[in-house]
């Protein structure tokens, strides 16, 4: 493929060309080397779960190799693999959520002074919601008690994770009748590992249903806890302006990039770069200042709450280093390509890992805990100042022209923009000026032209008067396309345009990082309850047009299991089983009232989503 076919963006194309000139290997080079991929693996037909194997199942091979050594056929093999794929995604979001619970507990027990409760109102609202009595408790005591409730959500709860109560009663009944009510977060993930051990759950449908349950513990459990506690500890997002693309890097400043997912680390970096002593040290080193910018989801966390500029999404992470202008990249966990350490080594860039859970060979490890976080953040900033002295100005190339964007649309902010109740949004849905609401979420995947599907799908949907909510790496794409600015309402259909103009909001609202897809679930629950219907009755949908990760698959599945039709740009590795594929594309409709649709073409995807919205509007008599 030519460089123009790899990415939609000029900043990306320029850096890919620079990488080629400088002999730096990127994700696209490695994809080419790996292509064609193993067909058995692509179809989910390999099994490596025991040493009687590994086995490859060939369902078409005239009776030969139709079963693994244990006797598992194609359906069971695909279901087991998919179950573990979902479990890994749910575990990742939820283990991130656990870190927030532990910090909240530390705040509550007075074990940290680096963190505090910044949104005391939200703390009390959450306490009310989950039944923590706080009338005579201090903020600290309330934090400790709340942390304890969420710790229970991770373990032995038998009657549903706390926030499942946010789902409409009709939805909870569907889960109950199907046997997929999310219980303890850890319990359901561990149970998936157990069920998929050889000789346990040996029915493909049964494993698929448990996959849905595991995904639900992510969406209504681990992810929702991560979102709500991040707001409690660091502030609930409010609309604000910022900028995106590689031009947020500054030639005359010390550039530090935060990459990964947890605001526990990135918020500390933000505090440290504002330290006057460190700023003076930076100036002494010859820099005009210290510039912090974000990548991927921890970038989204800082963008939503603090307006910190966003350098790029998943496929921009390598390219950001190739500018030659980054002194230091600091990471926590998830979606951090190990190749970044190698690329950092091609420049003067320091690569710093911070999480005990995520070491990177070749990186400098500076471990952050809730007792040392601010001090460690300062140490990291000093490393960046030191690295600046080694920058080679000859190798610096920063694309120009940052895009303006609006961010910060938490549900609280959306309700505030609507005047305190969801009624104006419901009225707009009823009168058809907003025909539906769609979440565009997820990643980049080098198999697809970078950000092409995100941008074109969003453009098509807003033209059809569909309000778009963006999270994760999709956000950066839509921000770079100018769709997160109020004046993008001009690209929307006349109904959506008038709603956006009267409220002064963009037609695409940035609602956060990937764990913040929980905000979308919560909003769907609020809308369904207000209308007295199930989520599956709403004219809503989701799309992960360029997804790559296990986490994105878990998101897609919890959306479907919550009743939200979900489009995927690429199928998961399940096509080796007709049964599992049929269940995903159709059968789930009968079980949970929603299913998946797959197409790499954003225009076709827009039509598929539009058909669902039409059907649901009709069902509601609209």
Annotated binding-site ranges for [4Fe-4S] cluster: 38, 47, 50, 55, 70
CB 521 within 8 Å of CB 220: yes
Footprint (CB under 6 A) of ligand BF8, residues 235-264 = 261
Regarding 221 and contact with ligand BF8 (CB under 6 A), the answer is no
Distance CA 445, CA 488 (A): 26
Regarding 122 and contact with ligand BF8 (CB under 6 A), the answer is no
Q: Residue 45 or 335: which CB sits closer to ligand BF8?
A: 335
What's the CA dihedral at 502, 503, 505, 506 to 10 degrees?
-40
Candidate ranges 250-258, 363-371, 528-536, 544-552; the one touching ligand BF8 (CB under 6 A):
544-552
Regarding 184 and contact with ligand BF8 (CB under 6 A), the answer is no
Q: Residue 257 or 533: which CB sits closer to ligand BF8?
A: 257
Q: Residue 226 or 290: which CB sits closer to ligand BF8?
A: 226
Residue in 117, 258, 335, 560 binding ligand BF8, rule: CB under 6 A: 335
The partner residues of 353 in beta bridges, in order of sequence, read 331, 365
What's the CA dihedral at 194, 199, 204, 209 to 10 degrees?
-30
Regarding 552 and contact with ligand BF8 (CB under 6 A), the answer is yes
From the list 519, 488, 507, 506, the residue with the least C-alpha distance to 435 is: 507
- Least separation, in Å, of the C-beta of 424 and ligand BF8? 30
Regarding 96 and contact with ligand BF8 (CB under 6 A), the answer is no
Regarding 524 and contact with ligand BF8 (CB under 6 A), the answer is no
The partner residues of 56 in beta bridges, in order of sequence, read 46
Eight-state DSSP code of residue 592:
H
Distance CA 294, CA 242 (A): 12
The partner residues of 450 in beta bridges, in order of sequence, read 7
Eight-state DSSP code of residue 132:
-
Q: Which residues fall in the annotated binding site? A: 38, 47, 50, 55, 70, 261, 297, 335, 443, 473, 514
Residue in 195, 454, 551, 567 binding ligand BF8, rule: CB under 6 A: 551
- Least separation, in Å, of the C-beta of 215 and ligand BF8? 14
Q: Residue 108 or 312: which CB sits closer to ligand BF8?
A: 312
- Least separation, in Å, of the C-beta of 27 and ligand BF8? 12
Q: Residue 296 or 496: which CB sits closer to ligand BF8?
A: 296
Candidate ranges 196-204, 232-240, 393-401, 547-555; the one touching ligand BF8 (CB under 6 A):
547-555
Binding residues for ligand BF8, total number by CB under 6 A = 14
Regarding 514 and contact with ligand BF8 (CB under 6 A), the answer is yes
Regarding 233 and contact with ligand BF8 (CB under 6 A), the answer is no
Regarding 545 and contact with ligand BF8 (CB under 6 A), the answer is no
Q: Residue 320 or 383: which CB sits closer to ligand BF8?
A: 320
Distance CA 478, CA 396 (A): 27
Candidate ranges 154-162, 349-357, 548-556, 593-601; the one touching ligand BF8 (CB under 6 A):
548-556
Helix (H, G, I), strand (E, B) or coil at 471: strand
Distance CA 91, CA 448 (A): 26
- Least separation, in Å, of the C-beta of 150 and ligand BF8? 20
Footprint (CB under 6 A) of ligand BF8, residues 294-333 = 296-297, 313-314
The partner residues of 240 in beta bridges, in order of sequence, read 407
The partner residues of 331 in beta bridges, in order of sequence, read 259, 353
Footprint (CB under 6 A) of ligand BF8, residues 470-489 = 472-473
Distance CA 84, CA 220 (A): 19
Helix (H, G, I), strand (E, B) or coil at 436: strand
Regarding 408 and contact with ligand BF8 (CB under 6 A), the answer is no
Q: How many alpha carbons lie under 13 Å from residue 399 in its C-beta half-sphere? A: 23
CB 22 within 8 Å of CB 53: no
- Least separation, in Å, of the C-beta of 265 and ligand BF8? 14
Q: Residue 26 or 549: which CB sits closer to ligand BF8?
A: 549
The partner residues of 330 in beta bridges, in order of sequence, read 258, 352
CB 258 within 8 Å of CB 298: yes
- Mention every residue, 6+ apart, whose C-beta is less than 8 A from residue 585: 595, 596, 597, 598
Regarding 549 and contact with ligand BF8 (CB under 6 A), the answer is yes
Candidate ranges 26-34, 151-159, 234-242, 545-553; the one touching ligand BF8 (CB under 6 A):
545-553
Eight-state DSSP code of residue 394:
G
Binding to ligand BF8 by CB under 6 A, coded x per residue (else -) over 446-475, reads --------------------------xx--
Distance CA 231, CA 211 (A): 28
Q: Residue 335 or 492: which CB sits closer to ligand BF8?
A: 335
Residue in 15, 443, 458, 521 binding ligand BF8, rule: CB under 6 A: 443
Residue 424 backbone phi and psi in degrees, to 5: -60, -35
The secondary structure of 305-329, three-state, reads HHCCCEEECHHHHHHHHHCCCCCEE
Which residues are at the interface with ligand BF8 (CB under 6 A)? 261, 296-297, 313-314, 335, 442-443, 472-473, 514, 549, 551-552
């Amino acid at each position: 493929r030519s460089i123009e076919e790899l990415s939609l963006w000029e900043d990306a194309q320029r850096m890919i060309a620079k990488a080629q000139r400088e002999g730096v290997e990127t994700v696209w080079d490695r994809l080419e080397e790996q292509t064609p991929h193993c067909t058995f693996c692509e179809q989910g037909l390999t099994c490596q779960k025991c040493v009687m194997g590994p086995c490859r199942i060939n369902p078409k091979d005239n009776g030969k190799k139709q079963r693994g050594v244990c006797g598992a056929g194609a359906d069971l093999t695909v279901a087991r693999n998919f179950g573990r794929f979902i479990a890994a995604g749910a575990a990742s979001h939820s283990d991130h959520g656990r870190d927030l619970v532990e910090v909240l507990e530390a705040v509550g027990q007075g074990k940290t002074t680096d963190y505090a409760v910044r949104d005391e109102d939200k703390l009390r609202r959450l306490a009310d919601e989950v039944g923590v009595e706080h009338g005579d408790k201090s903020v600290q005591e309330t934090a400790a008690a709340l942390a304890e409730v969420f710790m229970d959500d991770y373990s032995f709860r038998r009657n549903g994770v706390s926030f499942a109560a946010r789902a409409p009663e009709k939805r909870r009944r569907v889960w109950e009748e199907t046997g997929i009510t999310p219980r303890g977060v850890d319990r359901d993930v561990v149970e998936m590992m157990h069920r998929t051990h050889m000789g346990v759950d040996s029915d493909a449908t049964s494993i698929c249903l448990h996959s849905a349950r595991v995904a639900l513990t992510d969406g209504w459990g681990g992810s929702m806890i991560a979102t709500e506690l991040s707001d409690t500890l660091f502030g609930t997002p409010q609309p604000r302006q910022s900028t995106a693309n590689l031009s947020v890097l500054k030639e005359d400043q010390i550039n530090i990039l935060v990459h990964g997912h947890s605001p526990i680390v990135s918020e500390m970096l933000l505090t440290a770069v504002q330290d006057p002593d460190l700023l003076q040290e930076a100036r002494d080193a010859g820099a005009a200042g210290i510039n912090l910018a974000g990548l991927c989801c921890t970038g989204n966390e800082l963008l939503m709450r603090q307006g910190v500029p966003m350098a790029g999404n998943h496929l921009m992470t390598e390219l950001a280093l190739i500018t030659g202008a980054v002194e230091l990249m600091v990471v926590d966990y998830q979606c951090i390509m190990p190749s970044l350490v190698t690329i950092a080594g091609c420049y003067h860039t320091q690569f710093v890992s911070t999480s005990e859970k995520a070491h990177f060979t070749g990186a400098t490890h500076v471990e952050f805990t809730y007792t040392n976080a601010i001090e460690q953040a300062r140490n990291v900033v000093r490393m960046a100042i030191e690295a600046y002295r080694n920058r080679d100005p000859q190798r610096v190339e920063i694309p120009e022209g940052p895009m303006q964007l609006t961010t910060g649309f938490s549900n609280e902010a959306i309700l505030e923009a609507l005047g305190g109740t969801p009624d104006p949004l419901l009225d707009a849905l009823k009168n058809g000026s907003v025909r539906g609401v769609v979440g565009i979420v997820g990643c980049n995947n080098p198999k697809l032209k970078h950000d092409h599907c995100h941008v074109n799908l969003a453009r098509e949907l807003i033209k059809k008067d569909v309000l778009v909510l963006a999270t994760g790496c999709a956000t950066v794409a839509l921000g770079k396309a100018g769709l997160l600015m109020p004046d993008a309402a001009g690209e929307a259909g006349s109904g959506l345009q008038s709603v956006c103009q009267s409220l002064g909001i963009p037609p695409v609202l940035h609602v956060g990082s990937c764990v913040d897809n929980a905000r979308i679930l919560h909003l769907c629950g609020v809308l369904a309850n207000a209308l007295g219907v199930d989520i599956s009755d709403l004219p809503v949908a989701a799309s992960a047009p360029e997804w790559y990760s296990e986490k994105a698959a878990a998101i897609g599945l919890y959306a479907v299991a919550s009743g939200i039709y979900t489009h995927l740009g690429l199928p998961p590795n399940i096509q080796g089983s007709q049964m599992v594929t049929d269940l995903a594309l159709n059968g789930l409709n009968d079980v949970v009232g929603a299913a998946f649709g797959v197409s790499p073409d954003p225009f076709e995807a827009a039509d598929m989503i539009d058909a669902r919205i039409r059907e649901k509007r009709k069902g509601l008599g609209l």
